[in-house]
Structure 1
Amino acid sequence: MEIDTTPALAARRDEREVHARSIDWPIFLISGGFFVLFLVAALCNLSWLSTVVDTAFGWATRVFGFYWQVLTLATFAVSLAIAFSKLGRVKLGGAAQVPSNSTFNWVVIIMCALLAGGGAFWAAAEPLMHFMSPPPFFGAAPRTQAGAVAALAQSFLHWGFLAWAVLGSLLAIVLMHLHFDRGLPLAPRTLLYPLFGARALKGPIATLADATSIIAVAAGTIGPIGFLGLQIAYVLHSVWAVPDTVVTQALVILAVTVIFTSACIAGLEGLRFVCKIHVWLMLGLAAYLYVFGPTAFLTSVFFQAFATHVVDFVQTAMYRGDDKWLNAWTLFYWGWFIGYAPMMAIYVAKVSRGRTIRELVVLLSIAAPVITMLWFTLVGGAGIGIELASPGSVVSHGSLPEALLLGVAQALPLRNLISALFLFLSFFSVVTNGGSMAYTIAMAMSGDRGEPRHWLKIFWAIGMGLVGAVLITMGSGGVSALQSFIVITAVPVSILILPSLWDAVRIARTMAIEQGVDR
């Protein structure tokens, strides 16, 4: 079934009228106002705010948890079905369009933006936490070889195929066609155009779609910014005896905010530059971990965990046996990634013009997940291997996520240098994530009519850093409350992205006919 292009042309005229000014002020005021109100509530009564968020979090996972599990699994399956059919040859952004980035740059800026939000922070922490307290599905004994395989297999589920697929594959197909071929805005509201037509581009539907998507991605970005301040201050104190105070934490956040704001102002070139720093540092650390870490263990445990993950893929993805564990891990991640999805898809669409559907899906749904699994094995697996060989050498630093990453670094040769390099990696992870998301929010608010206004990019970049800095003055509770809120915003966002399951197929068929792929 083809998308009717006549309403699209009318919608384009409507959209130009609606966006005659530089930005969509209602969206700006709603999304910006939310964070002001959140800060006020946190400052007035953090305990009450945390209770409200926790209650809403529990309701969201209880009512929508099973739906999110089905949605992520279905998104992955449909993306593969499109990519490996003849529709995979369809070029996105126009049949004659040449890719706007080299393949290496394209992979780098997508990998860094999507993995940076938590990959550096959780690559050590999650496998080690599962190793000490194995996921209930596997029933493995803690701190054993079987527990090591189960820990990595569970981490692969949370950061692998399903997570990456929902962040951009089908959504990017829909957005790239409607934006580049039909002239509709590069904004979350456009995802609803095939369902509601021109009504999706203005009025309450458009406002709800854009505002919830922006709030979700901003909340998910502020969380890592706040935790970075806590993490770096903790490591500086533990290794170099720098006082772990609010001042130290705030100075870290100030530094990271200045750098990602500068990169954001510079546009895609600036973001590409910081992404390259991030990726080369990550590659260097990965090589070091493999050579100087437990090499034989890392090699064997990766293949064992990957095989376990593939064999138990559907069962672990649909696991419903332990509600408390499920809410704390799998459903938290699914809510986080689903909340991120529309804005991440906008970012992917912006940098992927000229790529085929097959290239896009292979990167997002296959290659990037496998690279992420390798990274989690090298960092978390190194910690597990060292802990198996010498119990207590890693976890003696503490059970908090920042302590576990420090424990891995301190158990390796040149421990202080490696600790410093991991700090830089965490720092630049947040730089790439914060800069990319501030740029994407500004772009969505201005409908991608050229480069977003500098003041709008600065507002969101500095605003997210400021909110993170204020929240850490209350300890980790304020940041945790905001990061948990993203799961609540995932409720409307998960409804917003549902139509892409069939719209992406219809649109791919439409483009295949237009480009002659069907012949």
Structure 2
Amino acid sequence: MKKEKKSLGLVFYVSAAIITVLVLIGAFLPAQFSAGANAAFGFTTESFGWLYLLAVFFFVLFLLFLALTRYGRVRLGGDDDRPEYPFFTWIGMLFSAGFGVGLVFWGIAEPMSHFFTSPEASTEPLTEQGARLAMAYSFFHWGISQWSVFAIVGLIIAYFQFRRKENGLISTSLSPLVKERSYKKPLNQTIDILAVIATVMGVATSVGLGVLQINGGLNSVFDVPNNGATQLIIMVVLTALFIISTTTGIDRGIKWLSNVNLGVALLLMLFVFFAGPTVFILETFVLGLGDYITNFVRYSLRLQPYQGGTWVNDWTIFYWAWAIAWSPFVGAFIARVSKGRTIREFIVGVLIVPPVIAILWIAVFGGTALHLDLFQGTNIAEAVNDDITSALFVTFNELPLSLVLSILAISLIFTFLITSADSATYIISSMTTTGGLNPPLIVRIIWGVLIGAITLVLLVAGENGLEALQTASLVSALPFTIILILMVYTLFRLLRKEFPAPPIRKAKKRSGE
């Protein structure tokens, strides 16, 4: 116990203090906090949106370059190391790092939002062409661009942690560049504190919004009151379960729940695929995939300097800022479960498989909702516009076995939230100690309680407090963008040094020449 207490250093105390102050402001002055957070985030996206777009596009190109060159054969660990987890379990763990629940939430909500309010002024909303554009942009936002950010951070941390046998802190990946080898140096501690603050605030708000969705589902299915008391009960149960899970470690709680999550998600998707408009879903998937590939560069670099408007800022740049702000947590967790894989295996697994599953999910669920509105006269898009948490359950009401589907969906959201909070607790504990593979149990329990308490306070304060804290966390995306670019440079320099290109052999002159 004494050793564990000594692990709690400056990063823990400073980040916990700053988070506490921000949460109290969000709870007691939600309107003022929201206005300040929105102003700060608006400034960063309007002034540096171009940087987010260029950076994410560059990350995609860099990862593809690594996968297709000799660097793809480099193993994240010793040359004789092999993957710790089977492929299915590994993919399930990737989704457990926070984005499985996001996909369940936005799988219908996003395409229907774009269908109701078109991404491009030249396309009429609530039309066939509007539906096509809505699916293309939904594919884009959940495709390889978002996952490239997590892959970059995960790859770099895994390289340092398993190949170079150093700790798993964000700051360590910059140590060759800034010449600060100790995680106790001021610059390194500042980087790690920033990572912890962004992670805790992002996780707390995501868990809170997930609780709101569960409450909305319970209200839709069982007529349970949609109020603070219900949300309080849900949050208390959720906190107890993910703290119990975090005490079991990655090889038990997260590993087992990740397999369950992925299995239930695939079962739910297959049922909707066959119960819904199957041919329409397949055609939507193929057409949307074609539109995504065809317009990838245009979507990746789209801004609105001539015609004005805020759609790109509100959606694409918001998504990229969200991914960058979350990248220390998601990337560190992906790194932790990826020991033994080659860089090529890692990039294919992280950059390709989750986006393919996400696109399939959106095609099935979003395509079903679009078909219902276009051809059966439902008003799902309007319902989503009024209450975005209702998207999944409004759609299920139009399908067979709607009660069973809703119960399965609520259960899936709940277990995704448990694994998200559990994995976040693990990574935050690692960030605030020494970046080791097994942070002290007492630290994990402390952060689990803190995340639960933060979310409870903000739920009591209302949605404004949650959304304000989420917006505030996204402000960290700007400095992290610079940090990620420097991390990429550091990794490339180390790879070139450790695995130089083979010398070019000069052809021998033939006799007589």
Structure-2 residue corresponding to 1:10:
none
Q: 8 Å contact 1:192–1:200 — kept in the other structure?
A: no
Look up the match of 1:6.
none
In structure 1, the partner of 2:396 is: 409
- The Cα shift of 1:200 comes to 6.5
Evaluate the alpha carbon distance shift between residue 398 and residue 370 of structure 1 in structure 2; reply closer, same or farther with a 3 A threshold: closer
Identity percentage over the alignment? 28
Instruction: Tell me if structure 2 keeps the 8 A contact 1:123–1:376.
Output: yes
**1:47 CA displacement:** 1.2
Q: Report what 1:465 is aligned to.
A: 452
Question: What's the counterpart of residue 492 of structure 1?
Answer: 479
Query: CA 1:143–1:266 in 2, change beyond 3 Å: closer, same or farther?
Result: same
Does residue 74 in structure 1 map to residue 61 in structure 2? no
Which residue type is aligned with residue 481 of structure 1? A
The answer on 1:340 being equivalent to 2:352 is no
What's the TM-score, normalizing by structure 1? 0.91
Q: Relative to structure 1, is the Cα distance of residues 432 and 324 closer, same or farther in structure 2, using a 3 angstrom cutoff?
A: same
What's the CA shift for 1:507? 2.8
Q: CA deviation at 1:20?
A: 10
- Which of residues 74, 77, 97 in structure 2 aligns to 1:113? 97
Q: Which amino acid aligns with 1:254?
A: V
Worse-superposed segment, 237-246 or 300-309: 237-246
What does residue 475 of structure 1 align with? 462
CA shift digits 1:69-114 (9 cap, x unpaired): 1010000100001101121111111111121112222122113325
Give the alignment of 1:268-287 within 5 angstroms. Answer: 268-269=250-251, 270-287=253-270
Q: Does 1:257 align with 2:224?
A: no
Structure-1 residue corresponding to 2:510: none
Specify the code of the residue in structure 2 equivalent to 1:202: K
Q: State whether structure 2 residue 363 is matched by structure 1 residue 377.
A: yes
The answer to whether structure 1 residue 299 and structure 2 residue 268 are counterparts is no
Q: Is the 8 A contact 1:120 1:429 kept in 2?
A: no
Matched, 1:202 2:184: yes
Aligned counterpart for 1:32 among listed residues 16, 23, 26: 16
Greater mean alpha carbon deviation, residues 177-186 or residues 296-305: 177-186
Structure 2 distance, partners of 1:63, 1:81, is 29
Contact 2:9 2:433 in 1 (8 A): no
Q: Hey, what does 2:215 align to over in structure 1?
A: 233
Does 2:422 correspond to 1:435? yes
Structure-1 residue corresponding to 2:348:
362
Give per-residue Cα distances to partners, 1:187-229, cap 9 Å, x unaligned.
1111211211225733221122101111111111111211122
Q: In structure 2, the residue corresponding to 1:201 is in which secondary structure? A: coil
Paired position in structure 1 for 2:511: none
Alignment of 1:161 onto 2:139: no
1:405-444 deviation per Cα after TM superposition (whole angstroms, max 9, x unaligned): 2111111111111111111111122112111111111122
Q: Do the aligned residues in 2 keep the contact of 1:246 with 1:472 (CA within 8 Å)?
A: yes
Which residue of the partner structure matches residue 456 of structure 1? 443
Change (3 A) 1:328 1:450: closer
CA distance in 2 between partners of 1:134 and 1:499 (Å):
36
Moved more, 299-308 or 176-185: 176-185
Note the C-alpha offset of 1:397.
4.2
Question: Given the alignment of the two structures, is residue 96 of structure 1 paired with residue 83 of structure 2, yes or no?
Answer: no
1:297 maps to amino acid: F
Which secondary structure does the structure 2 equivalent of 1:96 belong to?
coil
**Residues 233 and 21 from structure 1, CA distance in 2 versus in 1: closer, same or farther, beyond 3 angstroms?**
closer
**Which stretch of the first structure deviates more once superposed, 268-277 or 110-119?**
110-119
Alpha-carbon distance, 1:282 to partner = 0.2
Q: What's the counterpart of residue 110 of structure 2? A: 126
Q: 1:22 to 1:184 in 2, by over 3 A?
A: farther
- Structure 2 equivalent of residue 49 of structure 1: 33
State whether residues 98 and 420 of structure 2, in contact with CA within 8 Å, keep that contact through their aligned partners in structure 1.
yes
Instruction: Give the direction of change, closer, same or farther, for the CA distance of 1:216–1:312 in structure 2 (3 Å limit).
Output: same
Question: Residue type of the partner of 1:507?
Answer: L
Structure 1: any 5+ residue segments left out of the alignment? 1-18
> 1:518/1:56 Cα in 2 relative to 1: closer, same or farther (>3 Å)?
farther
The answer to whether the 8 Å contact 1:90/1:517 transfers is no
Q: Name the structure 2 match of 1:248.
A: 230
Gaps of 5+ in 2: 506-513
Q: Deviations over 1:243-266 (max 9, x none)?
A: 222110111111222222222111
**1:7 paired residue number:** none
CA contact (8 A) 1:127 1:380 kept: yes
Q: Which moved more, 1:270-279 or 1:21-30?
A: 21-30
- Structure 2 counterpart of 1:209, which letter? I
How far did residue 28 of structure 1 move? 0.6
Q: Post-superposition shift, 1:117?
A: 4.6
Cα deviation, residue 153, structure 1: 1.0
Which amino acid in 1 is paired with 2:259? K
2: distance between equivalents of 1:417 and 1:22? 50
**Please, what TM-score do these two structures have when normalized by structure 2?**
0.92
Q: By how many angstroms is 1:380 displaced?
A: 1.5
Q: Aligned equivalents of 1:511 and 1:133: distance in 2?
A: 51
Equivalent residues, number: 498
Check if 1:350 corresponds to 2:336: yes
Once the 2 structures are TM-superposed, how far is the Cα of residue 267 of structure 1 from its aligned partner?
Answer: 0.9
Point out the more displaced range, 77-86 or 437-446.
Answer: 437-446
* In 2, Cα distance between equivalents of 1:317 and 1:450: 35
